[in-house]
Amino acid sequence: MSHANAALTPVQRARIARLIVEEGWPVAHAATFFHVSWPTAKRWANRYAAMGRDGMADRSSRPHRSPNRTPQPMVRKIVHLRWKQRLGPVGIGAQLGMPASTVHAVLTRCRLNRLHHVDVRTGEPVRRYEHEKPGALIHVDVKKLGNIPDGGGWRFVGRQQGDRNRAATPGKPRNKRFQPLVGTAFVHTVIDDNSRVAYAEIHDDETAATAIGVLRRAVSWFAARGVTVERVLSDNGSAYKSHAWRDACADLGIKVKKTRPYRPQTNGKIERFHRTLADGWAFSRHYHSESARRAALPAWLHNYNHHRPHTAIGKVPPITRLTNLPGQYI
């Protein structure tokens, strides 16, 4: 877009119109002076005479009426087929006897042109939510990862060498077939619903005592950044269903919420964070040992919170939503 004082932007339109209407310049003379056509000069003069400076602004090119627009009953049929059968423009067009381009235009207008806008299970549009302030709700969950044997895991060194590294890792128990068990890393994650700021710890179990310890430290970590946790959302894992978890949340003044059974979408923010965690840290490069991978987690978390743009909050780092909170610097 050109700058505000370029030829025939609102400023120049007002100049040419004022010369014609108020100072009596001939339209042809004003058009020659401003290097525009006679109809252009006449149009702005007419608008100025009728509306004043308000008439100099750009108008929308959208027509007042669209007699050829797809009728609303047909739009409902298109949306119904998209929701319930997840058909594309070609499939919907074949069923309704319409061009695929028309169907695609309707789906775009209804924001259903991409299937990830539609819930897989219900066929309904995905309903997204975000609490109004940091700390209003935090999500908690556990991400399980197989420990890396000394020398590297099979993802980077291959199955054969990975089995050798696994067998050579000292101090590991063995199963009934005398195969070494490298164990599991339980990454306890906490993410704030509003800001997407994340906190994580790695442990060797997912018991209620461990989960409670992570929660207490996470609440303190958020409090140091000016965030008061009010509610916590978890799945129905044994640790989160325990009386100890309920009592610990009560001691912290936190209201407990649970997701619907077999409905992980309710806790979708932390599920999506786990995918980012796996891609950006757990499986991002070749770690020679489990201790090397665990040592890399704090640096990755810092980058995620302070430097990585988050598309769900306007392509800014999550920590920016915790800046200048009321009382943070008191």
pLDDT for 130 equals 80
- Which of 7-21, 123-137, 213-227, 296-310 has the least mean pLDDT? 123-137
Closest to 244 measured CA to CA, from 276, 278, 211, 221: 211
**Pairing assessment for the beta strands 231-234 and 198-203 based on DSSP bridges:** unpaired
pLDDT for 330 equals 42
DSSP state of 74: H
pLDDT for 158 equals 77
- Which of 152-156, 194-198, 234-238, 245-249 has the least mean pLDDT? 152-156
pLDDT digits (tens, 9 = 90+) for 131-167: 888 999 999 999 999 888 877 777 766 777 767 776 6
